[in-house]
């Protein structure tokens, strides 16, 4: 055994000289305080390590020890409802141990080893199990049953099972004897290297939406379960709010929310708000399905890079149990910048704007982990990834936005101008897109309404026409336009203000069912077509706007709760009455 020690220190990067102890990507312990680090490059002379914690006070000559594995985390019950740092240490335990401020070298196990879990063994002696098979379950939260699966590299005939009942996480639940007579002991914990995707049986086509209750998403730019979306936008345009809205309302089974290089207060807020919110379906607090990863902007940069992988590994673990997982990453730009910073310290050749040349492949590897899958135990599960992008100067031509675009299929472009007007969500309907619409058409027809996509198409078309007309209005004003064009402007304004704008703070406008979204479109389009007939007959459009009907429909989102669809009948009547006076 060689004595490996620190040779040089430069911020979060240290080197060890003349050693062959370590492997690339291996996790190592650095210094007397055993700070976590990862080997990022190796030459014959120097092994370079990025340290996940503050290197302040570290000295050359302090020991560096090998862990024998690449950067890994423990997986098991107790992940849900929890909040971890970027490398999987539970922040509540750290606060208990060291107080409000986080010191370098804080220790903490991802999985609490003392807590008792109510375990139910699902296999019997002599069953044969292989990688991925479920051998026991634990009711992890009121909402979620945790399914314990045979880890990679293990399998064989069951030769021992513990009794059902309360057990600690490290206790052996099942023993498997493999063909070579080797006995594997399975507890409630397994480890997984975070940069490696967990295996599945196969990738499936997906044709189901992730329903978010946000009209501009569900109707205009939907995302599938297993899909990948990006939310780019300048500061203050609403990336975090949108992701919080999805985390609260989307119809995934599990939410993994990664705060990567963002604000501490936002994580505090998520902790508070999610525990106050009750899931409408189950009546349980939303935290029951949620795990938070917090690597805030003032925490060490290298751990920012790890936080994304920690998050997606946890997502895959729950997917493997047969759950639909939605992962929010806020913000992937901070992650890319962490790559850039470390790369700079390694004196690698930079590509665009100082980002390393492998930015694109890293982004691809990350988004590639989204998908709809058949798991090893032949269930279906999915991971939907929604990544925020924080472009420099809100300019979407920068490398992170551009490279991300290659790997996602829904693009929700947030617009500073809309945010200035407080048009929220500030999703720009001209720049955004979703390539999932066709895939979802059957689902929408069968589960919402045959006409859903037709209505969507009409709305899109009207907004497009409005966009063109606005160019003219900017030059000559609207008063000179012919009446049919005035109608398009007015109906589009109704669509923008009454439909696309959605109030996250309103009791029932915060989340809107697909049925209500459909009905709202239908009433708006009904008004459009009826008004169009009148305008066609040469009756002055001014008479229609004077009826105040546009205003009334603008406010219907606040009048009709999600569970009273009959109220829409009144709105068709309102339209009829308003227009019949004119006819």
Partner 1 sequence: MKLQYMHLKEVNDPLIFLEGVKDVGFNEVVEIEMADGSMRHGQVIEIKGDSVGIQVFEGTEGISLENTKTSFKGRSMHVGLSKEVLGRIFSGTGEPIDGLGPLFIDEYRDINGLPLNPVSRVYPRNYINTGISSIDALTTLIRGQKLPIFSGAGMPHDELAMQIVRQARIAEDAGESDKFGVVFAAMGVKNDVADFFKRSLEEAGVLDRVVMYLNLSNDPVIERILTPRTALTTAEYLAYEHDMHILVIMTDITFYSEALREFSSSKGEIPGRKGFPGYLYSDLASLFERAGIVKGKGGSVTQIPILSMPNDDITHPIPDLTGYITEGQIVLSRDLHQKGLYPPIATLPSLSRLMKDGIGSGYTRDDHKALTDQLFSSYSHVQEARSLASVIGEDELSDTDKKYIRFGEFFENNFVNQGPEVNRSIEDTLDLGWALLSLLPREELDRVDSEVLDEFYNSQEAYERFNIKEKSLVRELGQKGE
CB-nearer residue toward partner 1: 108 or 226: 108
Stretch that binds ligand ATP, among 234-242, 336-344, 450-458, 574-582 (CB under 6 A): 234-242
Considering only residues 137 to 166 of the shown chain, the ones binding partner 1 according to CB under 8 A are none
With CB under 5 to 8 Å by kind, the binding choice for 39 among Mg ion, ligand ATP, partner 1, none is none
475 binds partner 1 (CB under 8 A): yes
Question: With CB under 6 A as the contact rule, which of the stretches 130-138, 195-203, 239-247, 558-566 interacts with ligand ATP?
Answer: 239-247
Pick the binder of ligand ATP from 504, 539, 543, 582 (CB under 6 A).
504
Distance CA 249, CA 218 (A): 12
Name the binder of 296 from ligand ATP, Mg ion, partner 1, none, CB < 5-8 A by kind: partner 1
Question: What are the residues whose beta carbons fall under 8 Å from the beta carbon of 49, sequence distance 6 or more?
Answer: 13, 14, 15, 16, 22, 28, 30, 37, 38, 39, 40, 64
What secondary structure does DSSP assign to 64-81, as a single string?
Answer: EEEEEEESEEEESTT-TT
Contact set for partner 1, span 39-58 (CB under 8 A): 55-58
CB of 296 to ligand ATP, least distance (A): 12
With CB under 8 A as the rule, give the number of residues binding partner 1: 72
Is 276 a binder of partner 1 (CB under 8 A)? Answer: no
- Bridge partners (DSSP) of residue 134 are 149
Q: Which is nearer to ligand ATP, 410 or 549 (CB)?
A: 410
Whether the link from the prior residue into 425 is cis, omega within 30° of 0, is yes
* From candidates 20, 142, 235, 533, binder to ligand ATP by CB under 6 A: 235
| Residue 215 touches ligand ATP, criterion: CB under 6 A | no
Structural element, H or E, at residue 513: none
SS3 338: helix
Question: Quick one: tokens of 209?
Answer: 């939406």
574 belongs to the binding site for partner 1 (CB under 8 A):
no
Which of 214, 237, 240, 296 lies at the binding interface for Mg ion (CB under 5 A)? 240
Residues 384-423 binding partner 1 (CB under 8 A) are 390, 392-395, 420-423
> Residue 264 and residue 53: Cα distance in Å, rounded?
17
Q: In the numeric block, which tokens belong to residue 251?
A: 């119809």
Residue 273 in contact with residue 347, Cβ under 8 Å?
Answer: no
Taking CB under 6 A as the criterion, the residue among 209, 222, 226, 233 binding ligand ATP is 233
Binding mask 13-32 for partner 1 (x = CB under 8 A): ----x---------------
Question: What are the C-alpha distances in Å from 304 to residues 86, 259, 318, 334, 513?
Answer: 6, 9, 22, 8, 36
For 78, residues 6+ apart whose C-beta sits below 8 A from its C-beta are 111, 112, 115, 117, 140, 169
213 contributes a contact to ligand ATP by CB under 6 A: no
Tokens of 299: 């925490």
Among 11, 63, 236, 344, binds ligand ATP (CB under 6 A): 236
Site for partner 1 in 326-365 (CB under 8 A): 334, 337, 340-341, 344, 350, 353-354
Between strands 134-139 and 116-121, the pairing is: antiparallel
Residue 535 structure tokens: 């305008």
- Contact between 238 and ligand ATP by CB under 6 A: the answer reads yes
First-residue to last-residue Cα distance in the chain: 95
Residue where the block lists tokens 């200035």: 420
Distance CA 22, CA 38 (A): 10
Structure tokens at 405: 């675009």
Stretch that binds ligand ATP, among 86-94, 143-151, 237-245, 269-277 (CB under 6 A): 237-245
Cβ-based nearer residue to Mg ion, 311 or 381: 311
Rounded distance between C-alpha atoms, residue 321 and residue 319, angstroms: 5
- Choose between 182 and 420: whose C-beta lies nearer to Mg ion: 420
Q: State in angstroms the smallest separation of the CB of 388 from ligand ATP.
A: 7
Among 82, 137, 219, 240, binds ligand ATP (CB under 6 A): 240
Structure tokens that stand for 261 in this block: 């290089």
Site membership for ligand ATP, residue 425 (CB under 6 A): yes
Residues within the interface to ligand ATP (CB under 6 A) = 233, 235-241, 262, 390, 424-425, 504
């Amino acid at each position: 055994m060689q004595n490996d020690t620190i040779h040089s220190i430069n911020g979060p990067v240290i080197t060890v000289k003349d050693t062959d102890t370590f492997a690339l990507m291996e996790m190592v312990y650095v210094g007397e305080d055993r700070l976590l680090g990862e080997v990022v490059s190796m030459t014959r002379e120097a092994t370079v390590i990025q340290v996940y914690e503050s290197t302040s006070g570290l000295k050359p000559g302090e020991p560096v020890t090998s862990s024998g594995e690449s950067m890994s985390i423990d997986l098991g019950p107790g992940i849900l409802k929890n909040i971890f740092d970027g490398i999987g240490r539970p922040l509540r335990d750290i606060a208990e141990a060291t107080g409000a401020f986080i010191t370098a070298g804080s220790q903490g196990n991802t999985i609490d080893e003392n807590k008792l879990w109510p375990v139910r063994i699902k296999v019997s002696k002599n069953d044969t199990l292989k990688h991925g098979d479920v051998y026991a379950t634990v009711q992890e939260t009121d909402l979620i049953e945790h399914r314990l699966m045979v880890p990679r590299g293990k399998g064989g005939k069951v030769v021992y099972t513990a009794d059902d009942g309360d057990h600690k996480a490290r206790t052996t639940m099942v023993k498997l004897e493999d063909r070579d007579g080797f006995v594997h002991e399975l507890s409630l914990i397994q480890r997984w290297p975070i940069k490696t995707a967990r295996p599945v049986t196969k990738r499936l086509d997906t044709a189901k939406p992730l329903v978010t209750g946000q009209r501009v998403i569900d109707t205009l730019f939907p995302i599938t379960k297993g899909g990948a979306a990006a939310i780019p936008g300048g500061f203050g345009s609403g990336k975090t709010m949108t992701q919080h809205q999805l985390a609260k309302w989307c119809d995934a089974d599990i939410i993994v929310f990664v705060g990567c290089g963002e604000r501490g207060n936002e994580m505090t807020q998520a902790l508070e708000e999610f525990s106050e919110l009750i899931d409408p379906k189950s009546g349980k607090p939303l935290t029951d399905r949620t795990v938070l990863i917090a690597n805030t902007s003032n925490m060490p940069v290298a751990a920012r890079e790890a936080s994304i992988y920690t998050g997606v590994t946890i997502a895959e673990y729950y997917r493997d149990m047969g759950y639909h997982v939605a992962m929010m990453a806020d913000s992937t730009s901070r992650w890319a910048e962490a790559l850039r910073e470390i790369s700079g310290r390694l004196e690698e050749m930079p590509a665009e704007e100082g980002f390393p040349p492998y930015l694109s492949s890293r982004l691809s590897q990350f988004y590639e982990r989204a998908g709809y899958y058949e798991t090893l135990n032949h269930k279906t599960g999915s991971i939907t990834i929604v990544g925020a992008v924080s472009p420099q100067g809100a300019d979407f031509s920068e490398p992170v936005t551009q490279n991300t675009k290659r790997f996602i299929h829904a693009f929700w472009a947030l617009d500073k101008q809309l945010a200035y007007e407080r048009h929220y969500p500030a999703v720009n309907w001209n720049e955004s897109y979703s390539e999932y619409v066709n895939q979802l058409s059957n689902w929408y027809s069968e589960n919402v309404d045959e006409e859903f996509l037709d209505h969507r198409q009409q709305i899109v078309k009207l907004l497009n026409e409005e966009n063109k007309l606005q160019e003219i209005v900017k030059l000559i004003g609207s008063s000179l336009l012919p009446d049919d064009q005035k109608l398009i402007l007015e109906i589009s304004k109704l669509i923008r203000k009454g439909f696309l704008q959605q109030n996250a703070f309103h009791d029932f406008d915060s989340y809107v069912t697909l049925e209500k979204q459909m009905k709202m479109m239908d009433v708006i389009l009904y008004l459009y077509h009826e008004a169009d007939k009148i305008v066609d007959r040469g009756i002055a459009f001014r008479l229609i706007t004077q009826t105040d009907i546009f205003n009334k429909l603008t406010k219907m989102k606040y009048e009709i709760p999600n569970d009273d669809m009959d109220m829409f009948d009144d709105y068709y009547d309102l339209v009829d009455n308003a227009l019949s006076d004119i006819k």
